């Protein structure tokens, strides 16, 4: 897979770009044309983009934007429903990767995804209703691996928060007590997949890593995994990232701090600037972890218009009831404001059963 410095990418990879005119707002109908060419697509390939923008007047400083990165086999449009309700005050932009994947090492795509992300961030920062200093990244699985690459390789100061869900760092990115990016073509047969150029991550960002001890795809304890990669142990991955952001102490030992009565445990470095959540939600997130994501991204003073819609699909149904049950006796499913999830919250969810009111997707 190919990763080149951005200046070379702009000159040689055929970025098709037109800067936004002054006074333009980001909207669900905005056309963001990022077309790149590489060995698999010598005539160029345009990244599909799915966009959601919340209704109402944006803050004076502009909306925060979260770029959502899907897992292997997924697409951008499929990411939106699960996060519209979770991040109701964020604009959401969800690109789709070539061959339904992101280029890390042994995937089906050799696309220059880091160049696409850099160009996308540049575009988003030009819209009048976007806060250029609150561009966030959230990736799941293969998208989480791309989020980790962005953390290490992208130096745009406007990217202030990154969440990586169910994929920690790999030894290709962290070895010999340093961080690395690919210096050219990479493949599983190459030493460290070809990640051979040392990098220094930008300081000052906030990072959230979520991994689960029962993940059947990417082992919490590290080891071989998808794409021909070898993964770090999840807690060590968080510790190494904390070190990159200025932490000078020892790794947090023990089981971490439990959230309520859930099976989610927090490892907090640098007063919340780097956080690892250890859970048991397999290759995904439970309600407690999703609530932590909401709090981590912050920037929202407006309550969700349909609070019982825990998965953000625009309706209250059995899926939301399941998420509420998973949050039992924690604050994650609290609908009545008493600080915990219990029988009264079930009653409120049943009252709200069906389509959400208002301008839901």
What does 138-192 look like in DSSP terms, one character per residue? Answer: EEETHHHHHHHHHHHH---TTEEEEEEES---BTTTEETTEEEEE-S---TTSGG
- Confidence at residue 3, expressed as pLDDT on a 0 to 100 scale: 42
- Across the range 319-345, mean pLDDT stands at 83
Q: How far apart are CA 241 and CA 152, in angstroms?
A: 9
- Across the range 130-150, mean pLDDT stands at 98
> Distances in Å between the alpha carbon of 230 and those of 104, 163, 218, 234?
12, 20, 10, 12
Q: How far apart are CA 333 and CA 240, in angstroms?
A: 32
Mean pLDDT, the chain, rounded, equals 90
Kindly tell me if the per-residue pLDDT of 304 is higher than 50: yes
The answer to whether 277 and 210 have CB atoms below 8 angstroms apart is: yes
**Per mean pLDDT, which of 8-22, 88-102, 291-305 is the most reliable?**
88-102
Report pLDDT digits (tens) over 56-112.
Answer: 899 999 999 999 999 999 999 999 999 998 999 999 999 999 999 999 999 999 999
Domains of the chain: 6-302 (3.40.50.1820), 306-361 (1.10.1330.10)
Kindly tell me if the per-residue pLDDT of 12 is higher than 50: no
Kindly tell me if the per-residue pLDDT of 21 is higher than 60: no
- Across the range 325-343, mean pLDDT stands at 80
pLDDT band at 190; cut points 50, 70, 90: very high
Kindly tell me if the per-residue pLDDT of 180 is higher than 50: yes
Q: Which residues of 315-353 are buried (b: 16+ CB within 10 A; e: fewer)?
A: bbeeebbebbebbbebebbbbeeeebbbeebbeebeebe
Nearest residue to 65 via CA among 49, 53, 57: 53
Q: Percentage of residues in the chain with pLDDT exceeding 70?
A: 90
Higher pLDDT: 239 or 311? It is 239
Report pLDDT digits (tens) over 201-236.
Answer: 999 999 999 999 999 999 999 999 998 899 999 999
The answer to whether 105 and 230 have CB atoms below 8 angstroms apart is: no
Q: How far apart are CA 98 and CA 9, in angstroms?
A: 17
pLDDT band at 311; cut points 50, 70, 90: confident
Q: How far apart are CA 326 and CA 292, in angstroms?
A: 14
pLDDT band at 5; cut points 50, 70, 90: very low
Lowest mean pLDDT among 122-126, 179-183, 342-346: 342-346
The answer to whether 268 and 226 have CB atoms below 8 angstroms apart is: no
Q: How far apart are CA 297 and CA 359, in angstroms?
A: 23
């Amino acid at each position: 897979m190919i990763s080149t410095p951005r200046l070379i990418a702009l000159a040689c990879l055929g970025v098709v770009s037109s800067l936004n005119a002054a006074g333009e707002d980001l909207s669900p109908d905005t056309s963001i044309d990022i077309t790149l060419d590489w060995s698999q697509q010598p005539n160029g390939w345009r990244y599909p983009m799915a966009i959601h923008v919340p209704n109402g007047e944006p803050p004076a400083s502009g909306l925060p934007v979260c770029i959502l990165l899907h897992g292997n086999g997924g697409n951008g449009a499929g990411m939106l429903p699960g996060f519209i309700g979770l991040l109701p005050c964020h604009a959401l932009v969800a690109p789709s990767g070539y061959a339904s994947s992101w280029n890390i090492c042994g995937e089906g795509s050799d696309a220059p995804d880091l160049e696409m992300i850099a160009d996308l961030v540049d575009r988003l920062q030009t819209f009048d209703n976007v806060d250029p200093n609150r561009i966030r990244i959230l990736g799941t699985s293969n998208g989480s691996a791309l989020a980790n690459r962005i953390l290490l390789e992208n130096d745009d100061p406007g990217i202030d928060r990154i969440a990586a869900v169910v994929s920690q760092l790999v030894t290709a990115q962290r070895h010999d007590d340093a961080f690395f990016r690919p210096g050219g073509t990479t493949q599983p047969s190459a030493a460290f997949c070809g990640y051979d150029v040392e990098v220094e991550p930008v300081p000052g960002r906030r990072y959230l890593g979520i991994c689960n001890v029962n993940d059947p795809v990417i082992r919490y304890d590290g080891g071989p995994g998808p794409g021909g990669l070898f993964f770090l142990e999840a807690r060590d991955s968080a510790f190494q990232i904390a070190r990159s952001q200025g932490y000078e102490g020892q790794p947090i030992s023990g089981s971490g701090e439990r959230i309520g009565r859930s099976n989610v445990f927090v490892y907090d470095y640098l007063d919340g600037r780097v956080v690892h959540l250890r859970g048991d939600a397999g290759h995904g997130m439970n309600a407690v972890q999703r609530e932590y994501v909401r709090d981590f991204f912050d920037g929202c003073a407006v309550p969700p218009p349909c609070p019982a819609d825990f998965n953000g699909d625009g309706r209250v149904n059995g899926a939301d009831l399941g998420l509420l049950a998973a949050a039992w006796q924690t604050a994650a499913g609290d609908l009545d404001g008493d600080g915990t999830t219990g029988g009264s919250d079930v009653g409120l969810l049943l009252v709200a059963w069906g389509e959400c009111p208002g301008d839901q997707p």
